[in-house]
Structure formats: structure tokens, C-alpha cells
Amino acid sequence: MRHEIRFAGFGGQGIVSAGRITGNAAVIHDGNHAVLTQNYGPEARGGACAAEVVVSDEPVDYPHITQPEALVIMSQEAYEKFSSRVKEGGILLLDEDLVEHKERSDVRVVKVPATRIAESLGRKIVANVVMLGALAAAWPGVTRDALLSAVLGSVPPHTKDLNKSAFDAGYEYIAKEAPHGAA
């Protein structure tokens, strides 16, 4: 089993953190192997960035993704750059408040109002965690419990309740609002 996922957006959205959390979930909590690669522009915030994670039940011999089965997109620029590269039959998870997209029949497009949900929780900064919750419901590469444990293990103690609420909101959005997207 080899699963490939790319997270993409702009600096400051927690894109690299989402990739790191996914890799940690796969290795520490699900007992698999994972490799994270990341790239970003020279700007600290606002520049394009991406994180790629390979999850496997065997040691990863090639650390770069070839054609991801899942893309988590949180900016229009990332959509323009990466959306055509998702594997046929894969999943395209979009922050619907930040990304305009074209309908596609070759992949499953799941729109999540991640930024809006995060703002309703009082902190826009947890939009990436909302997307991780949605990912847990829509993608079989890492289990829900593993992702949630990795999220809670990577945030400051005083933000655990907020991050758990953000994760649960993303998961429940897919389970309730987009039931065909739930895994």
C-alpha cells in the first residue's frame, strides 16, 4: 500500500504543519512509514507553499509523490498549479471560501468551508485542522483516530480544545454535508 497526498496553499495557513501532522499520524499512531517533503517561496507569509506526504506499509524507497491520490488545496494559486496533477479517481479537497474550481468528472471534488468554520470557532488559524478533519472522513490513507491524536500532540496545551473542535467540525462536515465523501 502506498498513499500519496499533497497539501498546498500559501504561507501562514499551516500547510507544512498539516503535512507534518499527517506524517506523524501515519507513523506514530497507525504504525506505517511516511516521508514528508515541503517547498515554499522565499516569503515567510503569503507565498506559495506545499507539503507532500507518502504513506506506506513498507519503508518508502522513493520520497517524492508521482501522482497524488489526494490534494488538499487552500488557495487559488495552489489550485491552478496542482489540481490537474491529482490521480484519476482521486480526491480534491478544496477550501470553498478561497478556491474557485471547475467541475470535474475524473476526480471526486469535495468543497469544505474550512475558513468559515474556523472563523465560527473564533480562530481563522485552525482552518488547516478543519481540513485535516475533512481529510480523515474522505481519505483512507490515515485513520481518523491517528490524525486527531497527531493534531492534539502537535498543538500547545491551551489550544487543544479549539483544535479538537476544528478537527471534529471538518470531519462532521464531510460526514453530514457531503455523505458521499465520507470514508
What was the pLDDT predicted at 98?
94
Model confidence at 180: pLDDT above 90: no
Report phi then psi at 102, rounded to 5: -100, 145
Q: Which residue has the cell 490537474?
A: 84
**Secondary element (H or E) of residue 162:** helix 160-172
Domain count, the chain: 1
What CATH number has the domain bearing residue 74?
3.40.920.10
Predicted TM-score (pTM) of the model is 0.91
Beta bridge partners of 48: 10
What was the pLDDT predicted at 182?
43
The range of the structural domain enclosing residue 56 comes to: 2-181
Report pLDDT digits (tens) over 21-75: 999 999 999 999 999 999 876 655 667 899 999 999 999 998 889 899 999 999 9
What was the pLDDT predicted at 43?
56
Predicted confidence band of residue 178 (pLDDT cuts 50, 70, 90): low
Report pLDDT digits (tens) over 134-160: 999 999 889 999 999 999 999 999 999
Average pLDDT, the chain: 91
Model confidence at 181: pLDDT above 50: no
Q: Long-range contacts: 158-167, Cβ < 8 Å, 24+?
A: 162/121, 162/122, 162/123, 162/126, 163/126, 163/129, 165/121, 166/117, 166/118, 166/121, 166/123, 166/126, 166/127, 166/129, 166/130, 166/133, 167/129, 167/130, 167/132, 167/133, 167/136
